[in-house]
Amino acid sequence: MTPIPNSRIIYKAVPKGFPVPGEHLVYESNSASIDIDNARLHGGALVRTVYISLDPYLRGTMRDPSIQSYAAANQVGEPMKSRTICKVIRSEDPDFNPGDYVLAPNGDWSLHAVFTKADGLTKLQKPANVSLSTYAGVLGMPGLTAFLSLRAFGRMKAGETLFVSTAAGVVGSIVAQLAKLAGLKVIGSTGDDRKVEWLKEELKLDVAFNYKTTKVADVLKEHGPIDIYYDNVGGETLDVAFEHINKHGRIILCGFVTEYNKGERSSYGVKNLSSKAVSKTLSINGFVIWDIVDKEGLDAFQEEYRPLVEQGQIKYQETRYQGFEIIPEAFLAMFNGENLGKTVVAVSEE
């Protein structure tokens, strides 16, 4: 077969603030090609990308490689990488057959790619009653993050109060629902009135509010104190949580999205940490998901959590985009709060 174009999103330059479509992330439709029938597989599999996962943590991979972090830096001039859900086209590995769906944990943002088991390629079974794209969201790393971090650090008890920021995001919404199922009162913040309504009407949160129009401190003063704060944003919200958390409270640090695009601007300094953490005997846990994964946790995820999703007890939303050319804009829109739930891009048919 004649080589065909291999559409890609190239990471062109390190952004100082918000990434700019066409400057830092660039769509290229004809700069690379691939011979589907003759490409070398190196004992692995040639795949066609179906879904690309967009996640806030990826902004941290767009940095100078000399700066160390928990996630590897993407390489300037190369395709951007993230979790991708793909379909096998050809294979030299007996564990992967044409037609199989697979997850590439660090897949290229390209239409076709070659992966091996050494790249972490794993076979997927189509889930019951939900889309294959849920492997990028509620049945994938975000779901695992919410489930295992609550399991490891939450020590949830019925009757307690949990506050979660970015409650309409995929991790926050799962945390909120797991807490409700465990009998907790749940307070959730988000930055959009449409999302507030979803949290109230669909997820049945006890309190949901728009932090852009209502002060976090006012809500926690009225509806707190809280026993658990699940933090996805950092900054001032974290500082306020220290003021309104009970003795022996738990703070789970999952993300700090308010800091991701500040560039050279100084980060928000948490003022209440030293005075409140000691006097209130708080447990504060930051984590990277792969550091808390073990066989027992993975088994519990499959046996306890997955059925909740497939049976509709854990609700989810996807903000889905279509096509490679839209990815840079979709990535920026995620940081502007335009997504509801998980952001995923469909780049080819299942």
Q: Does residue 307 belong to any structural domain of this protein?
A: no
Judge whether 59 and 261 are in contact, CB under 8 Å: yes
The answer to whether residues 130 and 160 belong to one domain is: no
> What pLDDT band is residue 267 in, cutting at 50, 70 and 90?
low
Q: Does residue 168 belong to any structural domain of this protein?
A: yes
Q: What percent of the chain has pLDDT over 90?
A: 82
Q: According to the model, what pLDDT value does residue 337 have?
A: 84
Distances, alpha carbon 286 to alpha carbons 33, 152, 155, 234, 348, in Å: 42, 11, 15, 11, 36
User: If you average pLDDT over residues 168-190, what whole number do you get?
Assistant: 97
The answer to whether residues 151 and 266 belong to one domain is: yes
Q: Does residue 169 belong to any structural domain of this protein?
A: yes
The answer to whether residues 153 and 111 belong to one domain is: no
The answer to whether residues 96 and 155 belong to one domain is: no
The answer to whether residues 89 and 155 belong to one domain is: no
Q: Does residue 72 belong to any structural domain of this protein?
A: yes
Contacts 24+ apart (CB under 8 A), 193-199: 194/340, 195/167, 195/168, 195/340, 198/168, 198/317, 198/340, 199/167, 199/168, 199/173
Q: Does residue 175 belong to any structural domain of this protein?
A: yes
> What pLDDT band is residue 255 in, cutting at 50, 70 and 90?
confident
Q: How many domains does one find in the chain?
A: 2
Judge whether 153 and 285 are in contact, CB under 8 Å: yes
Q: Does residue 167 belong to any structural domain of this protein?
A: yes
Q: At residue 303, what is the residue type? A: E
Residue 236 belongs to domain spanning? 141-291
User: If you average pLDDT over residues 26-51, what whole number do you get?
Assistant: 95
The answer to whether residues 170 and 206 belong to one domain is: yes
Q: According to the model, what pLDDT value does residue 341 have?
A: 87
The answer to whether residues 119 and 231 belong to one domain is: no
Residue 232 CB-density burial (10 A; 0-12 exposed, 13-18 middle, 19+ buried) = buried
**CA 100 – CA 91 distance, rounded (Å):** 10
Peptide bond connecting 65 to the previous residue in cis, omega within 30 degrees of 0: no
The answer to whether residues 233 and 335 belong to one domain is: no
The contacts of residue 139 (CB under 8 Å, 6+ apart) are: 127, 130, 306, 309
Judge whether 103 and 85 are in contact, CB under 8 Å: yes
Instruction: Give tens-digit pLDDT for 87-97.
Output: 999 999 999 99
The answer to whether residues 323 and 206 belong to one domain is: no
Q: Does residue 309 belong to any structural domain of this protein?
A: no
User: Which CATH number characterizes residue 188's domain?
Assistant: 3.40.50.720
Q: How many CB atoms lie within 10 A of CB 288?
A: 13
User: Which CATH number characterizes residue 331's domain?
Assistant: 3.90.180.10
Of 120-124, 270-274, 279-283, 293-297, give the lowest mean pLDDT range: 270-274
- pTM for this model (two decimals): 0.89
**CA 121 – CA 160 distance, rounded (Å):** 40
**CA 59 – CA 63 distance, rounded (Å):** 8
The answer to whether residues 285 and 147 belong to one domain is: yes
The answer to whether residues 48 and 152 belong to one domain is: no
The answer to whether residues 130 and 147 belong to one domain is: no
pLDDT, averaged across the chain: 93
Q: According to the model, what pLDDT value does residue 71 have?
A: 84
Q: Does residue 311 belong to any structural domain of this protein?
A: no
Q: According to the model, what pLDDT value does residue 103 have?
A: 96
- Please name which of 165, 152, 156 lies closest in space to residue 287, comparing C-alpha atoms: 152
User: If you average pLDDT over residues 227-248, what whole number do you get?
Assistant: 94
- Please name which of 299, 316, 301 lies closest in space to residue 130, comparing C-alpha atoms: 316
